[in-house]
Amino acid sequence: MSLDHPSHQMQPAVTPPASPHAPWKPSIVAELAKVVANTAVNAEYRHLVVDCSEVAASAQPGQFFQLLCPHPAGEQPFLRRPMSLYGADPATRQVEFLYKVTGAGTRGLDMIKSGEHLDIMGPLGTGFTLDPKWRHIVAVGRGAGLATLAPLAKAAKASGTKVTAIFSARRPELLVSVDLFKEHGAEVVPVTDSEQTSGPGNVERILRGLIAQDKCDAFFTCGSSRLMRVQQRLAIEFGLPGQVAMEQQMACGIGLCYCCVRDFNVGGEIVNRRVCWDGPVFDLLEALP
Amino acid sequence: MIKPFSIDLSVDVGGLKLRNPVMPASGTFAEGLDKVIDFNRLGAFVTKTVTRELRAGNPLPRVVERPGSLINAIGIPSKGVPHFIEKIIPQYAAYEPPLVVSISAPTAEGFASLAAELTLPGVSAIEANISCPNIEEDGKAFAMRPESAEKVTRQLRAATKLPLWVKLTPNTGDIAEVARATEAAGADAVVVANTFLSMAIDLKTFKPCLGNVMGGLSGPAIKPIVLRQVFQCAKAIKIPVIGCGGISTAEDAIEYMLAGASAVQVGTATFLQPAAMISVIDGIEMFCLQREISRVTDLVHGVVIEEADDQDLAWLSPPT
């Protein structure tokens, strides 16, 4: 097994190491951020907005933060919790997250009131890359993956790229990011389990339609291995590029501990990469479910 | 007018001069941390352990958290020696702190040949991680027994002229005895200690929480135990002790120095606060300023134990 560090075609998400002679500046920070809002958006997801530094607010789509969560009663989450970036605004110096309360860490996040402080660390990892040559991209997400894809809507609009988003959830009322994508001019195709539209067969049919209409110069996906495999097949069949944001249990979040490694298929060879540092966004065709 | 008062933070650790006593613990440090902290502020760099054999590491999950602690079974992924020499060592050339290279091998001979090969320009000291299993002794860690610790240290000593630090395991009956054995065999310093062998079980599945079943416990939970081991080792040997176990704050580091540590390593704390080492350095300096301690070395062995109490504590380091 090769453990070689990948050579990314993607832009590095963080600045290269400063020359030791230049004044040193951090490009990743851990800081106490003031919580502006922490409110429910539906039965499952909560929206967290914090005021932060210029460095943190410079986060790019697909990057993530590590949040040091308060301890809920009777529980002691020790590690930070990785959280996809839902939005970042350098002008207002804010970052946003969308989370579902599932464990000790998110139960702690749930307790924070606006005006209180939260220790955030970021921006972390390598995010999505938008090629200005692409005229129309497709974003396919499910569950928490919809939050991860959200910042793409704004970035694509800024680069003049059209977006069609296929968003999958168990029930229509659990879909998130739909309004945000529509606000930025994207077309959203919701598919749900309750309406029996979310199966890989139907998603493939929709994707083939988009490809036929010349509306798919690249795939962006997060949150479903089944949907990722559909896109991998179509990417090979039609020679299309793609990027996938992946998840893995993390400890440090900055490439030190090697607990979040995954296998990738690089030209037929299986290589081991750190999701936190080499990703979380990877080449669609190299990703293994 | 405020009297100018400058603190001398420099320490000498087994022949290696450090600008301050704070450095990373092996396995919790890599080049990418330079995006969060100014590397030139550190006392030293300590690399992840390099092995001769290519190692993929352990099956996932590789970490599990417990209150105040972390259990890891990463499995020392290693890309081997040529990669280390060509890719890792040069990354530190542009920085001022000395580079300490952590090595491991399954045999004493393997340790010696690796130390010899890594005795290179750009490498300032060798840290031998002898907490790993010794295949010549049925998988028991070298540092579990004085005899095997002495044998591997003696071979290492003959293989390199670089300052030789030996990293001990806390998973042993009498760590001071092991420290004495490595001193006798020519070690320049000992690192006390490593993680505690431990385990966690998932109550939903009844399966171990780690892919490797067992792992090493680190974090604030282990600090009082390792502090006691540093105290015992520092009483038993004349070579410097480097304290390593659950240090998150300057106060933790100062406690270790009072117990007898000449320098400290910060590990798991960096996972929670990536700039933890910098806060520890600044905090030590602030403490010295406030207490008008002009040299940080004045803290080493500073613990005050009354004569009578010392007698009562004799059982802590039994005569040999």
The residue of chain A with its CA nearest to that of B49 is A257
Interchain proximity A257–B272, CB inside 8 Å: no
H/E run at residue A181: helix A178-183
pLDDT at position B316 over 80: no
Q: How many whole angstroms separate alpha carbon B256 and alpha carbon B276?
A: 16
Using beta carbons and an 8 Å cutoff, which residues of B are at the interface with A?
A: 27-40, 54, 56-57, 60-63, 65-70, 72, 74, 77, 79, 94-96, 219, 270-275
Touching check for A27 and chain B: CB below 8 Å?
yes
Question: How far are the Cα atoms of A163, A177, A217, A278, B125 from residue A185, in angstroms, in the given order?
Answer: 8, 13, 17, 31, 59
- For B210-223, what is the mean pLDDT? 96
pLDDT at position A21 over 70: no
pLDDT band for B3, please (50, 70, 90 cuts). Answer: low
Interchain proximity B35–A30, CB inside 8 Å: no
Dump pLDDT digits (tens) for B100-131.
999 999 999 999 999 999 999 999 999 999 99
Average pLDDT, whole number, for chain A? 91
Q: Distance from A286 to chain B by nearest Cα, in Å? A: 19
Interchain proximity B272–A27, CB inside 8 Å: no
Interchain proximity B32–A277, CB inside 8 Å: yes
Q: Which residues of A touch B72 (CB under 8 A)?
A: 251, 257, 259
Q: Which range (A14-28, A220-234, B226-240) has the least confidence? A: A14-28
Touching check for A251 and chain B: CB below 8 Å?
yes
Query: What is the model's pLDDT at position A178?
Result: 87
Question: How far are the Cα atoms of A51, A57, A181 from residue A89, in angstroms, in the given order?
Answer: 10, 6, 16
Residue A283 backbone class (left: φ over 0; alpha: ψ -120 to 50; beta: rest): beta
Q: Which residues of B touch A124 (CB under 8 A)?
A: none
Query: What is the model's pLDDT at position A12?
Result: 38
Query: What is the model's pLDDT at position B314?
Result: 58
The residue of chain A with its CA nearest to that of B57 is A258
Phi, psi for residue A218 in degrees, rounded to 5: -165, 150
pLDDT at position A34 over 70: yes
CB-CB: which of A3, A20, A121 is closest to B40? A20
Q: How many whole angstroms separate alpha carbon A146 and alpha carbon A58?
A: 21
Q: Which residues of A touch B50 (CB under 8 A)?
A: none
Q: Distance from A252 to chain B by nearest Cα, in Å? A: 4
pLDDT band for A1, please (50, 70, 90 cuts). Answer: very low
pLDDT at position A151 over 60: yes
Q: Which residues of B touch A3 (CB under 8 A)?
A: 54, 56, 77, 79
pLDDT at position A235 over 70: yes
Q: Which two tokens stand for residue B182?
A: 């490595």
Query: What is the model's pLDDT at position B136?
Result: 73
Please report, rounded to a whole number, the percentage of residues in chain A having pLDDT higher than 90.
85
pLDDT band for A14, please (50, 70, 90 cuts). Answer: very low
Residue B24's DSSP bridge partners are: B266
Q: Which of A241, A58, A283 is nearest to A133 (CA)?
A: A241
- For B278-294, what is the mean pLDDT? 96
pLDDT at position A176 over 90: no
Query: What is the model's pLDDT at position A2?
Result: 41
Preceding peptide of B193 cis, ω within 30°? yes
CB-CB: which of B34, B36, B74 is closest to A257? B74
Interchain proximity A259–B62, CB inside 8 Å: yes
pLDDT band for B133, please (50, 70, 90 cuts). Answer: confident
Q: Distance from A213 to chain B by nearest Cα, in Å? A: 42
Interchain proximity A79–B33, CB inside 8 Å: no
pLDDT band for A13, please (50, 70, 90 cuts). Answer: very low
pLDDT at position A7 over 50: no
Instruction: Give the count of Cβ contacts less than 8 A between chain A and B.
Output: 106
Touching check for A249 and chain B: CB below 8 Å?
yes
Q: Which of A103, A104, A87 is nearest to A95 (CA)?
A: A87
Interchain proximity B63–A259, CB inside 8 Å: yes
How do strand B125-129 and strand A261-266 relate by DSSP bridges?
unpaired
Touching check for A29 and chain B: CB below 8 Å?
yes
Q: What is chain B written as a DSSP string? A: -PPP---B--EEETTEEESSSEEEPTTS--GGGGGTS-GGGSS-EEPPPB-SS-B--PPSP-EEEETTEEEE-----B--HHHIIIIIGGGGTTSSSPEEEEE--SSHHHHHHHHHHT--TT--EEEEETTSB-GGGTT-BGGGSHHHHHHHHHHHHHH--S-EEEEPPS-SS-HHHHHHHHHHTT-SEEEE--PEEEE-B-TTT-SBSSTTSEEEEESGGGHHHHHHHHHHHHHH-SS-EEEESS--SHHHHHHHHHHTEEEEEE-THHHH-TTHHHHHHHHHHHHHHHHT--BGGGGTT-----HHHHHHGGGGS---
Interchain proximity A272–B54, CB inside 8 Å: no
- Could you give the residue numbers annotated as active site of B? 132
CB-CB: which of A248, A256, A259 is closest to B30? A256
CB-CB: which of A14, A30, A251 is closest to B275? A30
Dump pLDDT digits (tens) for B171-201.
999 999 999 999 999 999 999 999 999 999 9
CB-CB: which of B34, B37, B270 is closest to A252? B270
The residue of chain A with its CA nearest to that of B72 is A259
* Range B171-191 burial, b when 16+ CB lie within 10 A, else e: bbeebbbbbbbbbebbbbbbb
Q: Which two tokens stand for residue B158?
A: 């003959």
pLDDT band for B317, please (50, 70, 90 cuts). Answer: low
- For B307-318, what is the mean pLDDT? 59
Interchain proximity B35–A121, CB inside 8 Å: no
Q: Which residues of B touch A248 (CB under 8 A)?
A: 60
Touching check for A7 and chain B: CB below 8 Å?
no
Dump pLDDT digits (tens) for B247-265.
999 999 999 999 999 999 9
pLDDT band for B12, please (50, 70, 90 cuts). Answer: very high
Distinct helix (H) and strand (E) counts, chain A:
6, 15
Touching check for A13 and chain B: CB below 8 Å?
no
Q: Are residues B45 and B92 in contact, defined by beta-carbon separation less than 8 angstroms?
A: yes
- For A99-113, what is the mean pLDDT? 95
Q: How many whole angstroms separate alpha carbon A88 and alpha carbon A83?
A: 13
Q: Which residues of A touch B274 (CB under 8 A)?
A: 28, 30, 121, 252, 254
Interchain proximity A77–B272, CB inside 8 Å: no
Average pLDDT, whole number, for chain B? 94
pLDDT at position A268 over 80: yes
- For B298-317, what is the mean pLDDT? 75
CB-CB: which of B34, B79, B272 is closest to A68? B272
* Range B236-265 burial, b when 16+ CB lie within 10 A, else e: bbebbbbbbbbbbbbebbbbbbbbbbbbbb
pLDDT at position A3 over 50: no
The residue of chain B with its CA nearest to that of A56 is B36
